[in-house]
């Protein structure tokens, strides 16, 4: 017997749940891409994209996913042979480093492991030792979606400044934009990368790079910036098609317009607060489950180091995989696999999962996912401490005051 029929809930950390309003906005035929309403609609996107990032700087849009965003940033920041310092707090930092290396950029990785935050003293020491200023930019994730570690970006900027180093600060906000508080200009971020399918609630297909005017001047014309990737025409397109170096992604633009309207109507501070409260409910549930079974644990020990959009956890193999399968097959909730913690061929792989709580999520979705997880633990005889659902409900009740 399955109780999964009804509206399914994809609680993985991206792609996230797409609001009906976004889907409906996308459901229309091809518009004229040379003149008419599309042109004006697209002009309305730029100020809202700046607002959601907290910047008065530039934004370039690409047809692509997060990986495309990484390449776009890399290609414009660096010329071949220039050096990047990459901070890794999980799989995504390492992957950004690999992409840079493959493009001919010299990469130094500071790997902080899979469950501890970046140590800014180490970053500062590396920058101080770089007396010739060879490091052009520091690259980091705001939220590493694999580990669910959140990096204190303002603190990182202070460390770069304390070292007296001119490196640019480039941040991957793919899993945090529209979920976790982020203030590009206030925090001294020079370049920021995001994509549309997580906090921006639009199906995968758009990547963005925001950059300050100072960063644009510092980067000049990189020899990696081929015509498709170059920032230039994408921020100042003499002809409309040049924003995308070709045909505009029309359906996605309609969807993005609707998503940005939803964020604007709720208000960005309220969006951040909703994510804080829902994350708090998830954490409260895990604290109770862990109390009865130490094999159950959140990946990140300190709450202030945790993302508000995703929670990575362990259940002791093979229980994470068993629980994921039960939740999907019996109750219509799909949880995320563990990523970058163990190879999918290793038994340990089956001990990790992630709960997504990003984008178009509300209290009943998060409480529902937690209740389904608890039902799965009961059904599968996975030992767990009591009180998780009451604790999560209490957080939601407090957050809704």
Interface positions with ligand PLP (CB under 6 A): 14, 65-67, 92, 141, 143-145, 172, 174-175, 195, 204
Please identify, using beta-carbon distances, which residue of 73 and 372 lies nearer to ligand PLP. 73
Residue 382 CB, shortest distance to ligand PLP, in Å, is 28
Per DSSP, the three-state class of 100 is helix
Q: What share of the chain is helix, strand, coil (3-state, %, to 5)?
A: 45, 15, 40
Residue 141 CB, shortest distance to ligand PLP, in Å, is 5
Query: Which residue is closest to ligand PLP by CB?
Result: 66
List all residues 6 or more positions away from 269 whose beta carbon is below 8 Å from its beta carbon. none
Residue 92 CB, shortest distance to ligand PLP, in Å, is 4
First to last CA, the chain: 39
Please identify, using beta-carbon distances, which residue of 57 and 199 lies nearer to ligand PLP. 199
Sheet containing 352-356: which strands, arranged edge to edge? 9-11, 333-337, 352-356, 310-314, 297-298
Please identify, using beta-carbon distances, which residue of 42 and 307 lies nearer to ligand PLP. 307
Please identify, using beta-carbon distances, which residue of 188 and 204 lies nearer to ligand PLP. 204
Residue 396 CB, shortest distance to ligand PLP, in Å, is 25
Please identify, using beta-carbon distances, which residue of 82 and 172 lies nearer to ligand PLP. 172
Residue 374 CB, shortest distance to ligand PLP, in Å, is 27
Question: Which residue shows structure tokens 């980067």?
Answer: 219
List all residues 6 or more positions away from 97 whose beta carbon is below 8 Å from its beta carbon. 84, 86, 88, 107, 109, 139
Residue 378 CB, shortest distance to ligand PLP, in Å, is 31
CB 59 within 8 A of CB 46: yes
Residue 144 CB, shortest distance to ligand PLP, in Å, is 6
Please identify, using beta-carbon distances, which residue of 144 and 180 lies nearer to ligand PLP. 144
Residue 178 CB, shortest distance to ligand PLP, in Å, is 12
- CB atoms inside a 10 Å sphere around CB 189: 29
* Cα separation, 157 vs 188, whole angstroms: 6
* Cα separation, 349 vs 7, whole angstroms: 29
Which pair of tokens denotes residue 351? 């001990």
Q: Which run of H or E residues covers position 9?
A: strand 9-11
Please identify, using beta-carbon distances, which residue of 57 and 66 lies nearer to ligand PLP. 66
User: Could you say which DSSP state residue 139 is in?
Assistant: E
Q: Which run of H or E residues covers position 211?
A: strand 206-211
Please identify, using beta-carbon distances, which residue of 14 and 255 lies nearer to ligand PLP. 14
């Amino acid at each position: 017997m399955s109780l999964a029929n009804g509206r399914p809930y994809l609680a993985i950390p991206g792609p996230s749940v797409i609001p009906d309003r976004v889907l409906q906005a996308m459901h229309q035929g091809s518009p004229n891409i040379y003149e008419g309403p599309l042109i004006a609609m697209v002009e309305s996107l730029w100020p809202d994209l700046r607002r959601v990032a907290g910047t008065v700087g530039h934004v370039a849009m690409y047809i692509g996913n997060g990986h495309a965003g990484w390449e776009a940033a890399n290609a414009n920041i660096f010329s071949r042979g220039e050096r990047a310092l990459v901070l890794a707090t999980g799989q995504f930092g390492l992957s950004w480093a690999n992409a840079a290396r493959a493009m001919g950029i010299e990469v130094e990785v500071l790997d902080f492991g899979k469950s501890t935050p970046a140590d800014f003293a180490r970053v500062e020491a590396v920058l101080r030792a770089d007396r010739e200023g060879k490091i052009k930019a520091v690259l980091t994730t705001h939220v590493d979606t694999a580990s669910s570690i959140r990096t204190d970006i303002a603190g990182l900027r202070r460390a770069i400044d304390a070292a007296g180093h001119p490196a640019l600060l480039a941040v991957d906000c793919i899993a945090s934009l529209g979920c976790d508080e982020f203030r590009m200009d206030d925090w001294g971020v020079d370049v920021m990368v995001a994509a549309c399918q997580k906090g921006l609630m639009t199906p995968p297909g758009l990547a963005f790079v925001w950059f300050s005017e100072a960063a644009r001047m510092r980067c000049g014309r990189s020899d990696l910036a081929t015509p498709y990737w170059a920032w230039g025409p994408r921020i100042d397109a003499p002809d409309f098609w040049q924003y995308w170096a070709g045909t505009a992604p029309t359906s996605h633009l309609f969807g993005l317009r609707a998503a940005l309207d939803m964020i604007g109507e709720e208000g960005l501070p309220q969006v951040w607060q909703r994510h804080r409260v829902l994350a708090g409910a998830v954490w409260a549930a895990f604290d109770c489950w862990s109390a009865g079974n130490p094999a159950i644990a959140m990946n990140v020990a300190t709450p202030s180091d945790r993302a508000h959009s995703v929670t990575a956890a362990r259940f002791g193999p093979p229980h994470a995989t068993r629980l994921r399968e039960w939740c999907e097959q019996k109750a219509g909730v799909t949880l995320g696999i563990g990523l970058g913690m163990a190879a999918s061929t290793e038994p340990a792989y089956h001990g990790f999962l992630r709960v997504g709580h990003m984008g178009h999520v509300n209290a009943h979705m998060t409480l529902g996912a937690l209740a389904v997880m608890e039902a799965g633990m009961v059904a599968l005889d996975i030992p767990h401490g009591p009180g998780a659902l009451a604790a999560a409900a209490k957080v939601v009740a407090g957050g809704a005051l």
